Structure formats: C-alpha cells, structure tokens
C-alpha cells in the first residue's frame, strides 16, 4: 500500500494515526535512504501516543524508551551497526515483551537486522520529486488491510 507524503506534516500525520491505532507488541521496521523521513514518522507516532517529550533519533544510544503515552514506545536506530552486532542486541526481548512492557517497537535502518520478528509492519520511505516522500507499507502476519482502513 503506497501513501504519498507531500510534506513533513503529511509524514507526521501518518505517524500520528499509527500511534493512535497500533496495539502493544507491534514492530515497525523503518527502511529508506538517509533523510527519507524515518525519524519524522516516529515523531508522529509519539504524538499519536500522547508523548509530549521530544523524540530524537537514538543514533548513539541505540534505543530510546518513552513511557509517557498510551503504550510504551521503543525507538531504535541501527544505522551504526553491522548485522552481526545487531544479532548480539537481543532485540527480540522488545517484541516478545520479556521483562519489558509491550509497546510499539519502531526500528530505523531495519535493513541491518539479520532476522525479523514473526510479525511486523514495514514502512519503506522513499524520495519523490520536489522533496516530497512516499511511504510503502507492507506487513508480515499482521493485518494491514484492517490497519489501512483505520488510517
Ligand atoms: N514528507 C516529507 N516531505 C519533505 N521533507 C520531509 C518529509 N518527511 C520528512 N522530511 C524532512 O526530511 C528530513 C530528514 O527527515 P528524518 O530525519 O525524519 O529522516 P531519517 O530517515 O530519519 O534520516 P536518517 O536516515 O538520517 O535517520 C527532515 O528535515 C524532515 O523534516
Ligand atoms: Mg533517523
């Protein structure tokens, strides 16, 4: 499913709807070139969840956790890692909710993951003409048509 994102606000709005709709345990794999809008989308998700703290990309910290909203938001950025390093992070504890309250797990540079969760939503962002963007949303074992109907 492709969505045209005319400007930053359109990207934020898509994130807001996702943040209002998604259920605990949802993993969002964010793919796309440098500057494609991944962090912007997560900022929208944060707004949709009711998080007022500002969301900045966890490039150095790897993960930022926000617990102020409707459900927790775990924001990861794998840009600086190699797949083997990612494998050592034990990311599955986030989506399996082991010792962690289930929430939304949003992963930038998900291309770096050597394995994926059993079910996930994938948002691939790409550049259009005139600096706009396009989102291509796909999913594995998660009901995208139901989601799309809500957003
Ligand atoms: N739909 C859009 N149209 C135009 N500009 C956008 C759009 N969405 C985001 N931007 C802008 O693109 C820039 C980069 O966005 P952002 O930081 O979200 O990208 P990113 O994919 O997270 O980058 P990185 O790969 O560095 O993590 C920001 O200035 C943002 O405001
Ligand atoms: Mg980013």
Distance between CA atoms of 47 and 126, rounded to whole angstroms?
22
59 pLDDT higher than 80:
no
Query: pTM of this prediction?
Result: 0.95
Quote the ligand 2 centre to 86 CA distance (angstroms): 17
Residues whose CB is less than 8 angstroms from the CB of residue 1 and which lie 6 or more positions away in sequence, other chains included: 136, 137, 138, 144, 148
- Coil, strand or helix: which one is 31? strand
Query: Which atom of ligand 1 sits closest to the CA of residue 6?
Result: 1
- Coil, strand or helix: which one is 6? coil
pLDDT-derived band at 40 (thresholds 50, 70, 90) equals very high
Q: Sign (positive/negative) of CA torsion 124, 75, 47, 50?
A: positive
Distance between CA atoms of 95 and 107, rounded to whole angstroms?
11
Query: Which atom of ligand 1 sits closest to the CA of residue 30?
Result: 21
- Coil, strand or helix: which one is 134? strand
Distance between CA atoms of 137 and 151, rounded to whole angstroms?
12
DSSP 74-95: EEEE-TT--HHHHHTT-THHHH
User: What is the average per-residue pLDDT within 54-80?
Assistant: 93
Take atom 13 of ligand 1 and give the residue whose Cα is closest.
35
User: What is the average per-residue pLDDT within 88-96?
Assistant: 88
pLDDT-derived band at 25 (thresholds 50, 70, 90) equals very high
Quote the ligand 1 centre to 40 CA distance (angstroms): 6
Q: Convert the pLDDT of each residue in 95-145 to its tens digit.
A: 888 889 999 999 999 999 998 999 999 999 999 988 899 999 999 887 777
Residue 105 CA: distances (Å) to CA of 7, 44, 127, 128? 24, 14, 24, 27
């Amino acid at each position: 499913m492709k969505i045209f994102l005319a400007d930053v606000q359109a990207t934020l709005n898509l994130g807001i709807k996702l943040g209002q709709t998604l259920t605990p345990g949802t993993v969002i794999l964010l793919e796309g070139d440098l500057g494609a809008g991944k962090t912007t989308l997560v900022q929208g998700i944060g707004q949709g969840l009711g998080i007022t703290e500002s969301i900045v990309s966890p490039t150095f910290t790897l993960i930022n956790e926000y617990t102020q909203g409707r459900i927790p938001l775990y924001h990861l950025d794998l840009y600086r890692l190699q797949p083997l390093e990612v494998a050592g992070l034990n990311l599955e504890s986030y989506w399996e909710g082991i010792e962690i309250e289930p929430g939304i797990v949003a992963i930038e540079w998900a291309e770096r993951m050597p394995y994926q969760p059993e079910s996930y939503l994938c948002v691939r962002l790409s550049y259009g003409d005139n600096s706009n963007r396009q989102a291509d949303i796909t999913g594995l074992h998660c009901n995208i048509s139901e989601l799309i109907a809500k957003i």
